[in-house]
Every structure is written in C-alpha cells, then in structure tokens.
Structure 1
Amino acid sequence: MKIRNILILSALAIALTAVSLLIGQWTYSWMPPQAAAESQLVDKLFSFLITLGAFIFLGVTGTLIYSAIFHRAEQYDTSDGPPIEGNITLEIVWTAIPVLLVFWIATYSYQIYEQMGIQGPMEAMHLHIPIGMKSASAAPINGDAGIVSASPTSSTASTDATSNVIPFEDIEVNAKQWAWVFRYPKTGITSTELHLPVNHRIRLAMQSEDVLHGFYIPAFRVKQDIIPNRNIDFEFTPIRIGKYELTDSEFSGTYFATMRANVVVESPEDYKKWLAEAANRKPCTANNQAASEYAQESKELIKGWVTVAPAQAPVVNYSN
C-alpha cells in the first residue's frame, strides 16, 4: 500500500511538472514579438516565474480540492477531529522550501538583469557596464527575417570586423511634457520618431526637461526612468526589423497618455538612407497631440478650472 501511494504521488508530481512547463512555454505567446536581445532574457525569466507559480498554485489547489472531496466530515458528524500534535520535521520542511525558492528566484533574476546590463538611475548616470559584466547583445542576422538570437558579449563593443562584437549607435533622448525628441549626434538631426539600425548596440543619453518620465518599449522589454537634472545612459540591442511603440510609463501629468513615439528598427542600409533624408529636411514644428488636445479642451473648460499647459511643440528635422 505504501509503495502504491508513492507511485501515485510520483505520477501526480510528474503530471503537475509537465503541465506547469507547458503553461510556462505558453507565456511566450502573451507578449509582443521579441524585438530586442533583452526581450529574450526577460521572457525567459517571466516563463520561469510562471512555471514555478503554476506548479505551486496547481499543487496547493489540487491538494485542497482532494481534501475537500475525499476527507470531508460526514453529514451530521459533530465529533471532534483527531488530536494532532505539532511535527517539527514538517514545520522545518515547509519553512525551508519557500526560503530556498525565494533565494532561487532572486539569484536567477539577478543573473538575468546582470546579462542585460541594466543599471538603476543612480548607477546609470554616464556610467557604463563594468568590465567583466555580461550584457545582452545580438548575433548576426538569420536570413531575411531580420531576427537574430541573443548571446552574451562584453558591453565594451568595438567595430572590429573579425569579431562578432557590435558597434554602438549613440542617440540623445530629450523627454518633456509631452513629447519625445531624439537627436543623432553624428549628423546633428532631430526627430520625434526613433529610428534604430537592427543588430547594433544602442546607447541612449537621456534627459528630462521637467518631471519624471519613463522610457518604455514593450516589444523590447526595456524600461528606464528619466530623472530631471540627471544625465542617464541606457543600452539595448534591437534584433527584429519593424515598427514598435515607445510610451511614457510614468504618470507625468495631464496629457502623459499622448506621450508616444514610433520606434522604427530597420536595416543598416535603410537607417543610413533615413539619416540622409532627414538631414536634407528643414527643421519644422512637429505634430504634437498634447498641444492639440490642450487647445481643444481650453475652449471647453469651465471658467476657473486649471490645467497644465504642454511644453512648446518641438522643432525637428523629422516628425512622424
């Protein structure tokens, strides 16, 4: 009978593990397409957490349901339950397991963030990843799909043609209420649409003119707070050609929901063509949804009500 119970519990544990792993793999379909090397690492961590959570949830819920069905008291049974005393071994086990799980999750999460090279706002101020720390980078493009795989490389990238290390592309980001402005130092052009070359390590120098903003591209799985009066460097590697959306992840005021920008990842050739095209355009006032909504609502506001006026629409070479 004891061997039979062990076999049944083993079979249930194997089935529970298989279902949890299946749910963990299913989580990859919950996210936008993986458009940056960092997204592969984040999705891997997310899948791990969901797998572990599903195992615990299904195990605990299954035990409760089984107990409620097969070990419930008979109808009209008002007798006392059996006098069960404490079990030191059991208490140690169910205390040790959660502690070990927490340390496991914390260690694995730290390893993922270390590979991504993500730094907090205080550490990120014009500092780069220390020598020896691995960061997510991209391997050569596979075929014509514009999709590449992530591989950890040193963050001190170079342009050596004999290596797989990827050159940096430096871009300045200016956030204000409520618009994104991107400046490309090599050409001096400005844009309200962020263009990036695929398979290149991107290094952003970010500033805020007014309040706290959040640089967040869901398809890239990267987010960085931009703190006023601080210069913050941030790095990632786009690996999939396409158009994505940048949004302000922080509540930066009345019209923060309009603070969006297109992120265009293109081949290095198309990227160079876009730079040349933008350089030939004369600077003009960019379209600004916040300014348009403010102008419309100002006519409808009840007298005496106060709202925050958007910053002046940026003047750029290229506007989406």
Structure 2
Amino acid sequence: MKKILITGGSGLIGLELCKQLIEKKFKVICMDLPEQLEKNKILFRKVKKNKNLKILNGSIFEKSLLNKVISDVDVVFHLAAMLGVKRTEDNKLKCLEVNIKGTENILEACVSGNIKHIIFASSSEVYGEPSHNPINEKTDTQGKTVYGISKLAGEEYVKAYSQIYKKLNYTIVRFFNTYGENQVSQFFLAKIVRNIMSGSDPIIYGDGQQVRSFCHVEDTCRVLIEIVKNKKSYNKIFNIGNSNEKYTLNEVAKIAIKTLKKNNLKIKNLPFTKSDRTVNREIFKRFCDVSLAKKTFNFQPKISIEEGIRRISKNLNFHNDW
C-alpha cells in the first residue's frame, strides 16, 4: 500500500484526510508545525496509536527534513498554506513566501525523492469574481487577492516542475468552501454555528446575498482518496465542492437557525467596514461545476448542509484563530 505525506496535516482537510487514508490502510506521515499539532492533539487521540500513522513536527522551510521524509514516501499531499482573509491581507509578504516558496521547497524535495505524484491544494480564490457561474476548470483565473495570487503561482510552479521532471505527475485540486468540524471560527459556517450555539444573533457582512456552494470536509476527502488511487487524475486540475447545494449567506444562516432550533435569533447584516475585509475584497457570486470530478471519480457529495451544521454543533471544539 502507498505511503503518503500530508503537509499541513493538522488542518481541517489534513485531519480528515489522515483519518480516511488510515481507514483505507494507507501508511501516512502527518506533518505540521509543532504549535498546530499541539493545538489539535485531542483530535489525534483516536488515531494516534494506529501503526500506519506517524505524526511529525516540521516546517515546509526545513529543506533537510523535507528531503529525508519525502525520500521515504510515494505520494505527497501539499496542504500546508497560509489562510484567512485578514491574516493574508495583513501579512502579504509572508503569505507569498509560505504559499509560493514553501511550495517550491516541496517540489524540490519531490524531485530529489523521485516522487511520482504530488497533489497540490489550490482554491476557488484563483477564479476571483468569475465572469459566469457555475465555474468549471476552464474558466479564466484571475488574482483578486494576495491569497488567490499565491495559489495561482503555486499551481504554475507545480506544472512547471512536472514539465521539466517528467516522472513527477501532479493533480491540482481547487477547493470550494470546504467546511466541517474543528474548523477555525474565522470561516463563515464555523463562525455562524458558534454564534448561534452561544445564543448570539448570526452576523453577516453586506446584504447577505453573496452566493456560495459549501462542501463538507468528509465529502472533499472522499474524492481526494480517489485521486490517490486513480492515475486518471495525473496532470489534471479538478474543482472540488458541492454543486448540488448553493445558497446565499442569508439562506445558510436561516438554515442554521432552523436546524439548531434557535428560532428566537435573527440575522444581523452589518457593513463591510465592520468585517475582516473591504467590499472590494468580497466575492459576491461563486459556485462550482464539479462535472469533471464526477465523470472521473464518480464524485457525489453526500452530506447536506443541515447535516454538516449539526455535526459542527455537536463538536464544539472551536478555535478562534490560527
């Protein structure tokens, strides 16, 4: 069975991916910064004793460590990145360094280790404010944010390395609004559920008519497993999200209030001046077409937004920030 390295392994997607890979009997090295692993140590308790899992303190800027670790695996999931609207906009240089230079470090180690397959975590942010919806993989990309630009640059680095080093195959996955238990509450759904569970009115910035398609992390990782198993994923880009359920932010908040039976609460719409972003930074309508993933892997998201909200509410392991 393949041995797999996951960078950023203690994040929302990394944790769930570790769990699902182990269930499928893959051998996994979960690598992340010491402070991230420490923060999420409770979440690792159920899988920590599994003989197929190794937890590794490390940074994507430790080149000697990367060379050593990657030489001993078959596949690399590069999930490590700097995230968050305010966090990346307030620290643009660091965002570019982590998401671009860090990716280059991973690619260099992949070449040295003769890795045959790297899966690179990109984002729907590479599409900016799209000219049309739903968005497929051929839709024009545009860098509206420093984070989006950093992910576009990362994609190009991945393709460029594969172009030169023919044995290095890649898969680029563009995630659309992945959510789930244990997500940092800076993200919309985690924040909304946390507010409602504490008895506070959910806050939405702007008029709440922004449209998104939310995909539970369990569904996201199910298709990532198929990408590892299927060579049809080689040297392709896939949108990963839930195209079956697209909602305005107001609609999501109403669903959350109803699902959690907090009907006394009401949505508060506040101006962007009170938020973590300017109105120019906001994306107003963006949702995905996952026809390619459906055709290639028979990808069908299973978890409804109501079920996802219930799962978040039962977890209550919220982190305020990174």
Fold conserved between structures, TM > 0.5: no
Say which structure is richer in helix.
2
Report the TM-score when normalising by structure 2: 0.28
The structure number with the bigger radius of gyration is 1
Report the TM-score when normalising by structure 1: 0.28
Say which structure is richer in strand.
1
